[in-house]
Amino acid sequence: MAKPYLEHLLGENERILLTSRQHWFILARSIFFEIAVILVIFVAVTFALTLMASDYYVLIAIVGFLVMLLFIASLIRDVLIWSNHQYIVTNWRVIQISGVINKKVIDSSLEKVNDVKMTQSVFGRIFDYGDVEILTASELGVNLFKRIEEPIRFKTAMINAKESLEHRDISPRPVIPDIAGVISQLDTLRKQGIVTEEEFQAKKAELLSKM
């Protein structure tokens, strides 16, 4: 679902250079409690079925299943939220997308990025996660991506994309001649007898082929 949505956000000639998410620690922390509760309920229901009278088997199984279903739904929700929270570097901008059904999109144009700050703790260096802070000249000012995976790679991709964009902007643009004006000048010279009819027609055909 996220990939087609992202493709709709891209402009003409815009390319995705890197896609990242928050570190899997964030997901693990979110679903740890839910997994633990599901296992406890499963063990408790199994243990209760071995001790209770057979008349209560169906009731215990239904109640246990319904309670487990609530925590399973919560687990699935956390997984979807984590998987749909993306950080994308393109050749033009940095995009932050969040939300499963209702989407929230924050853009930071690479042209307006003034500085990129990265922070990694000891554990962040060991498990390769950290915070990336983007300082921009826009009204948003600062975009903070917390506990993102492979922060060095993400920062490097941003810097390289910004440098490539700046070099493209300062590259000299080809000068397009005013072909119609040149033909008009040649026609004037032809009428004055400075240029022959053959020379005029040959040069005119050459100029028109460049349009």
Number of structural domains the chain divides into = 1
Residue 140 lies in a domain: no
40 lies in a domain?
Answer: no
Q: Which helix (H) or strand (E) holds 9?
A: helix 2-9
- The three-class DSSP label of residue 53 is coil
Q: Give pLDDT tens digits along the chain (211 positions).
A: 445 677 778 888 888 889 999 999 888 988 999 999 999 988 888 887 777 656 667 777 788 889 889 999 999 999 999 988 999 899 888 888 888 888 888 888 888 888 888 899 998 889 989 998 888 766 555 678 889 999 999 999 888 888 887 776 554 555 556 677 777 777 777 777 776 777 777 777 776 776 6
CA distances from 77 to 100, 103, 198 (A): 9, 15, 78
Cα-based torsion angle of the residue sequence 50, 53, 59, 63 in order, rounded to the nearest 10 degrees: -40
Task: Note whether residue 189 is domain-resident.
Answer: yes
Determine the pLDDT at residue 1: 41
- 3-state helix, strand, coil split of the chain in percent (to 5) is 55, 20, 20
Does residue 185 belong to any structural domain of this protein?
yes
Q: List C-alpha distances in Å: 3 to 47, 139, 149, 196.
A: 45, 28, 19, 63
Question: Could you list the residue range(s) of the whole structural domain that residue 192 is in?
Answer: 179-209
Query: Is 69 a domain residue?
Result: no
Q: Is residue 173 part of a domain?
A: no
Is there a domain that residue 191 lies in? yes
In a domain, 146, yes or no: no
d(CA 97, CA 9): 10
Question: In the prediction, which pLDDT does 2 show?
Answer: 45
Which residue has tokens 């964030």? 26
* Residue 26 near residue 82, CB atoms below 8 Å: yes
